[in-house]
Amino acid sequence: DDIGGLDEAKQRLREVVEWPQKCPDLFDQLDIDPPTGILLHGPPGTGKTMLAKAAAYESDRNFISISGPEIFDKHFGESERLVRDLFDAAREAAPSMIFFDEFDSIAGRRGGYSAGSELKDSIVNQLLSELDGMNELGDVVVLGATNRVDMIDPAVRRPGRFGLEIEVPLPDPTGRREIFDVHLQNRSIADDVDLAWLVSMTDEGYTGADIASICQQAAMEALRSTVDAYDSATPQDTPL
């Protein structure tokens, strides 16, 4: 409920993350193997991290999160060990979800010649071997989030690994309206605030993060214009 719009992405995640927890016997009867690896892709600030956290929460999974650069910034051999340890920790904490933010920085195409590409190749290889051992993992799902799905190594994207890709697009007008509602629900709003106008003014590439920031800034403006009055009045009298 804290995520505005993104109905299709939410539904796909429900099906593959929540349903296997909720009705495993139906998955058995129909011989459906839920995907273990899911790639969320879309522009920055569209809600990929929020979606992953919500899916983990709704399916009662422990949430283990790490960003690509955190893995990459290690001494020789440590990155691969960190990937291995993450999967071990997820197995122990099952049911669980591993969330890789900025996934392209660790699962990028192999075979480059730039600085660090040897390390990158070896991290991707480690990741692939962990994913291929997923059958033994049991109740662990792995989500990766990226703004550059084209940069992900094709071997990582194939079925059985990160076989399911869910797009997390820029919000449409209905989505933007819902995102404003989410970020205004606990704030007092002046009578002359026109939400339809705000929705139409934010049509050129505004993300959920941009809308959250607009609401935050508006609240800050309200605070600035009120704080002087607050100093000379009791809190109940403050004209917010």
- Number of DSSP helices (H) and strands (E) in the chain, helices first: 10, 5
Q: Convert 16-50 to b/e letters by CB count within 10 Å (16 or more is b).
A: bbbbbbeeeeeeeeeeeebbbbbbbbbeebbbbbb
How far is the CA of 69 from the CAs of 61, 63, 74, in angstroms? 24, 19, 9
The residue count for binding ligand ATP (CB under 6 A) is: 19
- Close Cβ partners of 231 (under 8 Å, ≥ 6 residues apart): none
4 interacts with ligand ATP by CB under 6 A: yes
Q: How far is the CB of 130 from ligand ATP (least distance, A)?
A: 22
DSSP string, 116-129: THHHHHHHHHHHHH
Residues 111-140 that bind ligand ATP (CB under 6 A): none
Output 72 or 230, the one with its CB closest to ligand ATP.
72
Residues 174-203 that bind ligand ATP (CB under 6 A): 179, 182
Applying CB under 6 A, which part among 78-86, 111-119, 185-193, 205-213 lies near ligand ATP? 205-213
* Binding string, residues 68-107; x marks residues near ligand ATP by CB under 6 A: ---------------------------------x------
What is the Rg, in whole angstroms, of the alpha carbon atoms belonging to the chain?
22
CB–CB of 192/156 below 8 Å? no
Which residue's Cβ lies closest to ligand ATP?
Answer: 208
Q: How far is the CB of 71 from ligand ATP (least distance, A)?
A: 15
Report the interface residues with ligand ATP, using CB under 6 A: 3-6, 44-50, 101, 145, 147, 179, 182, 208-209, 212
